[in-house]
Structure 1
Amino acid sequence: MPESPRFVVLVPVKTLALAKSRLTGLPDERRQDLAAAFAQDTIAAVLDTTLVERVMVLTDDFRFADKLASAGCTVIPDGASDDLNASLRQAAAEAHRRWPRLRPVALAADLPALKAVDLSQALAEVPSGPAYVADHAGSGTTLYTASYAEFAPSFGNDSAAEHARAGATSIDGDLPTLRLDVDDVGDLGRALSLGVGIHTAAVTGRV
């Protein structure tokens, strides 16, 4: 019986001053606090996922980087801050250099309700080829994975369809906390209903 793959999860985190611009109606400071909380709660769930051996964060926000490194992440600069997919490919190459036996996974940083059980279920169902998890709207992507040789993420508009067209397999199942990326205030309300991590709970007054 083949051994289950182990994973290195790549999490791109925008400079907080630029993050979550679609959370309209909120003051800039609160928007930045929410973006930081989303990333911290996402990463906490990843670190709690058994099949994940390493977490690599891509960010140019050096002050926030120290906090993420203290949490147990490897932090590297965002290699191409204007091109998410290029940054992820560069990060995958660096992860391959450091941990060649681990399979790379690109994961959105705005999953404040993420639970390790949903991520574990998705990773347990990963096929040998490329695979992705569509977001709750069905058009975006929250997770993409492939071997290093095949790693070619296509995040952006209609990314779920782009990944499918490229031959990636959709990982099915409810996976509610893995699918719920927070782009706007409505999404935040849905995440709060599911139950968010401690950092987002603190910022939103849910503790």
Structure 2
Amino acid sequence: MHTVHAVMAVKHIGRAKSRLAGELSPAQRSQLVLAMFTDTVAAATAVPALASLTVVTPDPLVADRARALGARVLDEPPAGHDPLNTALAAGAAAVRERHGPTHLLALQADLPALRPTELADVLTVAPIAARSLVIDHTGTGTAALILRDPTAELAPRFGPDSARAHRADGAVALAGRWPGLRCDVDTPEDLETVRLLGVGAHTTATLRDLGFSSLGSDPVRTVC
């Protein structure tokens, strides 16, 4: 199987997860975002088919954590009206500048229940010479965008209703029961869902510190 190079984009963590404001203070949200990012990176980099991970971010805490986890870091480029997709496209371009023609993966950075086996399975079934996606648990978002064409552009379309945007651009939706991969965290309900699935060690410890009861790191395979 061809190896894949992954990119993630993470904004300033102090501005993230505003829909959790009713549950957590800004400092607590920052702590949680960093923990979820750490667990996502740890799970992703445990996949043998993943050759490298590049994180595009303006946040020094995220950058330091990414480097500590073995990822390459790229400063966020000027973005205009679309910072997330601009960052992902820049990350993809940097990967190919460094490694030449490669297969690519754009992955959300807030998947604390992700299991390496899930991502490994996705990379196995993603069709060659095509762009594919994993739709998130809401049915409208994109958890992962996979490009199994070493020269085509990544063409990320993340944002509201991104699943439809990616499919309209030719991406094929992958079918599979990957609950940890499909569950990003934006709302208190999402947070409860990933807790039931079983989150990684850093998110588990952070939730405990924040006063949430921990269910441990072993997954409970409920439908997400």
* TM-score for both structures, normalised by structure 2: 0.87
Please report how far the alpha carbon of residue 102 of structure 1 lies from its aligned counterpart in structure 2 after TM superposition: 2.9
Cα deviation digits, residues 52-88 of structure 1 (max 9, x gap): 0101111111133112101110011112455211211
In structure 1, give the amino acid aligned to 2:124. Answer: A
Q: Report what 1:137 is aligned to.
A: 138
Q: Report what 2:220 is aligned to.
A: none
Q: Residues 131 and 168 of structure 1 are in contact (CA less than 8 Å); yes or no, is this contact kept in structure 2?
A: yes
Cα deviation digits, residues 134-173 of structure 1 (max 9, x gap): 0011100010122342311100111101111111111111
Unaligned runs of 5+ in 2: 209-213, 217-224
Q: Residues 24 and 184 of structure 1 are in contact (CA less than 8 Å); yes or no, is this contact kept in structure 2?
A: no
Matched position secondary structure for 1:131? strand
Task: Work out the CA distance in 1 between the residues paired with 2:39 and 2:78.
Answer: 24
* TM-score for both structures, normalised by structure 1: 0.94
In structure 2, give the amino acid aligned to 1:29. Answer: A
Matched position secondary structure for 1:150? coil
Which of 6, 10, 18 is the equivalent residue of 2:7?
A: 10
In structure 2, give the amino acid aligned to 1:46. Answer: A
Task: Work out the CA distance in 2 between the residues paired with 1:159 and 1:200.
Answer: 26
In structure 2, give the amino acid aligned to 1:143. Answer: A
Matched position secondary structure for 1:149? coil
Which of 184, 187, 197 is the equivalent residue of 2:187?
A: 184
Task: Work out the CA distance in 2 between the residues paired with 1:98 and 1:141.
Answer: 26
Unaligned runs of 5+ in 1: none
Q: Report what 1:21 is aligned to.
A: 18
Please report how far the alpha carbon of residue 24 of structure 1 lies from its aligned counterpart in structure 2 after TM superposition: 2.4
Does residue 97 (structure 1) correspond to residue 92 (structure 2)? The answer is no
Q: Identity of counterpart residues, as a percentage? A: 37
RMSD between aligned residues? 1.3
Matched position secondary structure for 1:196? coil
Number of aligned residue pairs: give it.
204
* Structure 1 consecutive aligned stretches of length 4 or more whose deviation exceeds 4 Å: none
